[in-house]
Amino acid sequence: MLEEAEREHRCAIGGINDSLYYALRRRVDSLELVCPYPNLYASSQYWNSLTLDERQHHVVGALMLRHPKWTFAGLTAACIYGFQHSYSLHDGTVHIASTGAVTGRDHKRLHRIYMSGIPQWQCRGIPVTSPARTLVDCASLPFSHALAIYDSALRMRRVTDGDIRTIALTSGCDEDPVLRLLRYADPGSENGGESVTRGRIIECGFAVPSLQVEFDNPNNPDMRYRVDYCWRLYDGRIIAAEYDGMAKYADVSNMNRASLQAKLDYERRRERHLKEQHVSVVHLFYEDVMNPERLTAKLMDAGVPKIQ
């Protein structure tokens, strides 16, 4: 049963009879198996080899068989669509659309999102709410995390601003979070980490930066330098911010990649060339982004203007 489930890229479904149920539970107790959702199972070794997105797909794949009438919604649908989002949002909850009242009889890992009519689509053979409806429901997430999903969906061209506004107006949901996200969403953001960082910058009350601004590279005019965030101030100053993930420097496992020293040399040279163009650069790390006080202090020290 477990091998068949792995071949089908889903969790195994237990509970067919008492002896099978107890056999599975014994293996969970001995840590041979994991139970990521009630009555769904996977080999611990296999489960640990999966990414968080893959784990979500395995749970959904099994639930499709158990509940063929379900339509997945919210963060679960966003994951199925492949919209970039923070892994920290995953807590094992599965989100589905529902036209009925929430009764409280569901397991705590199941979250029903009420809607009078379910706009059902198919993605990878999985029934999900439409991209626009999915984004409207994701507006309930913390702003910076929801912004990453909106940026990604717009970047992938799975949905338009108008699609989202229409659903927000006709669904009876709280429009304010949706409209705020649409105000700041930008498909020019290259990845989820940059989107979350921009969201945090906005939440801290700083001016909205321009994204992926280019500057001259005197060593190679055809390969211009791009900065993640840029502010051009009225007094002529230019401030750039870079979101630095450590993998950018530390991954030297592939021998075809430049050496760590070469990467560091390139970054020093790049920063010197930017300074020669009167661009001051501030580097933001994950710890800064997750701490509003640290992020505010760093941006204020760099001279980034506040708007509120």
CA dist 7 and 182 (Å) reads 40
Tokens 């001279």, located at residue: 303
* pLDDT at residue 264, as a whole number: 72
* pLDDT at residue 252, as a whole number: 38
Residue type, 31: L
At 294, list the tokens: 């640290």
At 188, list the tokens: 């020019």
Tokens 């840590």, located at residue: 31
At 50, list the tokens: 């999966």
Q: Are 225 and 242 in contact (CB under 8 A)?
A: no
The model carries a pTM of 0.89
Angle, helices 74-81 vs 143-155, to 10°: value is 40
Tokens 């506040």, located at residue: 306
Compute, in degrees rounded to 10, the torsion defined by CA atoms 168, 171, 172, 175: -10
Bridge partners of 124? none
Rounded CA Rg of the chain? 23
Q: What is the pLDDT along the chain (308 residues), one digit of tens a residue?
A: 999 999 999 999 997 678 888 899 999 999 999 999 999 999 999 999 999 999 999 999 999 999 999 999 999 999 999 999 988 898 899 999 999 866 677 788 999 999 989 999 999 999 999 999 999 999 999 999 999 999 999 999 999 999 999 999 998 889 999 999 999 999 999 999 999 999 999 999 999 999 999 999 998 999 999 999 999 999 999 999 999 854 443 333 444 454 666 777 778 889 999 999 999 999 999 999 999 999 999 999 999 999 86
* pLDDT at residue 308, as a whole number: 61
Q: Where are the alpha helices (DSSP H) in the chain?
A: 2-7, 18-29, 44-48, 52-66, 74-81, 131-138, 143-155, 161-170, 175-184, 192-203, 247-250, 260-276, 286-289, 292-302
CA dist 136 and 144 (Å) reads 15
DSSP summary character for residue 141: S
Q: What is the length of the chain?
A: 308
* pLDDT at residue 101, as a whole number: 67
Q: What share of the chain is helix, strand, coil (3-state, %, to 5)?
A: 45, 20, 35
* pLDDT at residue 261, as a whole number: 66
* pLDDT at residue 21, as a whole number: 87
CA dist 65 and 73 (Å) reads 17
Residue type, 191: N
Cβ neighbourhood burial of 22 (10 Å; 0-12, 13-18, 19+): exposed
Sheet holding 40-43, edge to edge: 12-13, 40-43, 33-37
CA dist 74 and 72 (Å) reads 7
